[in-house]
């Protein structure tokens, strides 16, 4: 089931609205999430059921917007700002879901952290009959990625800044490499 609720503010006045506001539920979306939490706490729902809540917000990927001043110093400053394509304050789960949705994965996809013991943190995103592996660490080595046993059919996503030219070339030969 997918439910969509816009974050319309709760308007004071009615008893139900005042109750919601007193519980810190300031939008209809907050109320909907709380109702779902309560349903899943009922005894007949004590299985592995749950829900995910997504909010429409700014992308975690920085976008090149161009610059008004066409001088070398301004270009250099803009290029420096884009050495990492992730926006300041990004969160791993938010980036993982954004990449998954951009790749066409469903809202019911499964995200799991892989425990391969090599240092970097890897996640696998699985949906129906496909999956991809993602790493958001600042640096990677071939030895760190080797335990993943990537094949030509595997999609591996990582930050562009995590790769040097040699590692990028090696990974591109092993798997379907995508960078952010």
Q: How far is CA 76 from the centre of its chain?
A: 29
Between 62 and 33, where is the model more confident? 33
Measured CA distances, 117 to 132, 146, 174 (Å):
19, 11, 21
pLDDT tens digits for 42-69? 887 766 677 788 888 889 887 777 777 7
pLDDT tens digits for 115-172? 988 789 999 999 989 999 999 999 999 999 999 999 999 999 999 999 999 999 999 9
Percent of the chain scored above 90 by pLDDT? Answer: 52
Calpha distance 138→75 (Å, rounded): 24
Calpha distance 90→2 (Å, rounded): 25
Calpha distance 59→105 (Å, rounded): 17
Burial group, residue 2, by CB count within 10 angstroms (0-12, 13-18, 19+): exposed
* Per-position b or e across 54-68, b if 16+ CB within 10 A of its CB: eeeeeebeeeeeeee
Q: What is the mean pLDDT of residues 13-37?
A: 89
User: Whole-model pTM above 0.75?
Assistant: yes
């Amino acid at each position: 089931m997918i439910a969509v609720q816009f974050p319309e503010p709760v308007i004071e006045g009615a008893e139900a609205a005042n109750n919601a506001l007193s519980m810190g539920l300031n939008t209809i979306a907050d109320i909907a999430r709380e109702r779902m939490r309560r349903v899943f706490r009922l005894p007949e729902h004590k299985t592995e059921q749950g829900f995910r809540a997504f909010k429409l917000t700014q992308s975690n990927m920085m976008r090149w917007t161009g610059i008004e001043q066409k001088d070398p110093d301004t270009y250099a400053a803009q290029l420096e700002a884009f050495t990492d394509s992730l926006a300041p304050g990004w969160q791993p789960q938010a980036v993982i879901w954004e990449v998954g949705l951009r790749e066409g994965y469903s809202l019911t996809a499964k995200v799991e952290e892989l425990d391969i013991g090599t240092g970097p943190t890897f996640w696998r995103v699985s949906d129906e009959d496909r999956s991809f592996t993602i790493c958001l660490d600042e640096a990677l080595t071939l030895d760190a990625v080797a335990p993943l046993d990537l094949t030509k059919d595997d999609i591996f996503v990582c930050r562009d800044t995590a790769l040097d030219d040699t590692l990028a070339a090696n990974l591109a030969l092993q798997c379907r490499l995508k960078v952010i």
